[in-house]
Amino acid sequence: MTAITPTLTDAKRRVIERLKRAGPATAGALAKELALTDVAVRQHLAALEEHGLVDQRTSKPTGPGRPAVTWSLTPLANDLFPDRHADLTVDLIAATREAMGDEGLQRVIEARTADQLRAYEKAIGKRKRLRDRVEALARQRTAEGYMAEVVDEGGGLFLVENHCPICDAARACVGFCRSELELFQQALGDDVIVERTEHLLSGDRRCVYRISPR
C-alpha cells in the first residue's frame, strides 16, 4: 500500500524527519525541538495522521498528571524516503543467485564492497581524530540515503543510520549487512573496533554501530 501524502510543507517535513531520526516524541517535545507552537505541531500531526503517516500511543503516567501521548511514523511513511528501486534490486539479486549460485552472488557483493571502500577511504582521507573519521563516514552514508549521524552516548561514539535505502535488498541477501560491518571496520582503520548494537533487520528501529578505540 502506498501513502497518499498531504502537501508536505517545510514544517511537516521537519516533523517527519525528526520522528525518523530520533523516534517517537510528544507534540510538546516536537514543538520545543522544532521551534514551533504546540498548536501548529498538533495541526501538522493531525494532517499526517489523517493520511496514515503517523500514529499516536498513550503511555501510562509515571506520576501525577495526564498520560503522555507520543507520536511515531507508520510503515507508510517509508514511501517518503529513498528506496533505491527496491523491487528491481531484489529481482537482480534473485537472478544473480540463479545464474551464478551463492558463491557468484558473494563475489558480486565483494566487488560492490570494494568500490564502497574506495569511496569511503577517499571521503575519510588522512583524518587522524576518530570522531572526524566517523563524521566523514556519516556524511558519505547520508549522501547514499542512510540519514546517518554521529552520536555521543554514555561516553561512547556511535554511528547511527536512521534509514536504510536498501532494506529490501538486505532482506533478500544478508550478505549486504554482513559486508557493511566489515566495510566500516576497514574504512575507519585497524585502530578502532566497530560493533553493531542495533539492527533494522533484527527488529530494531534503525542500525547503530559503536565505534571504539582498539
Instruction: Tell me the CATH number at 106.
Output: 3.30.1380
Q: Which pTM was predicted?
A: 0.64
The mean of the pLDDT values for the chain is 88
Domain span at residue 35 reads 10-80
**Where is the domain boundary, 80, 100, 120?**
80
The pLDDT value given to residue 2: 43
* Any domain includes 3: no
Mean pLDDT by 10 residues, the chain (214 residues): 62 93 93 95 94 88 74 88 69 85 86 92 95 97 94 91 84 79 93 94 92 92
When divided into structural domains, the chain yields a total of: 2
* Any domain includes 5: no
134 and 114 fall within a common domain: yes
CB neighbourhood size of 59 (10 A): 11
The pLDDT value given to residue 90: 78
163-208 pLDDT tens trace: 988 887 777 777 778 888 889 999 999 999 999 999 988 889 899 9
DSSP state of 81: S
The pLDDT value given to residue 173: 75
The pLDDT value given to residue 1: 42
* Any domain includes 170: yes
* Any domain includes 4: no
155 and 194 fall within a common domain: yes
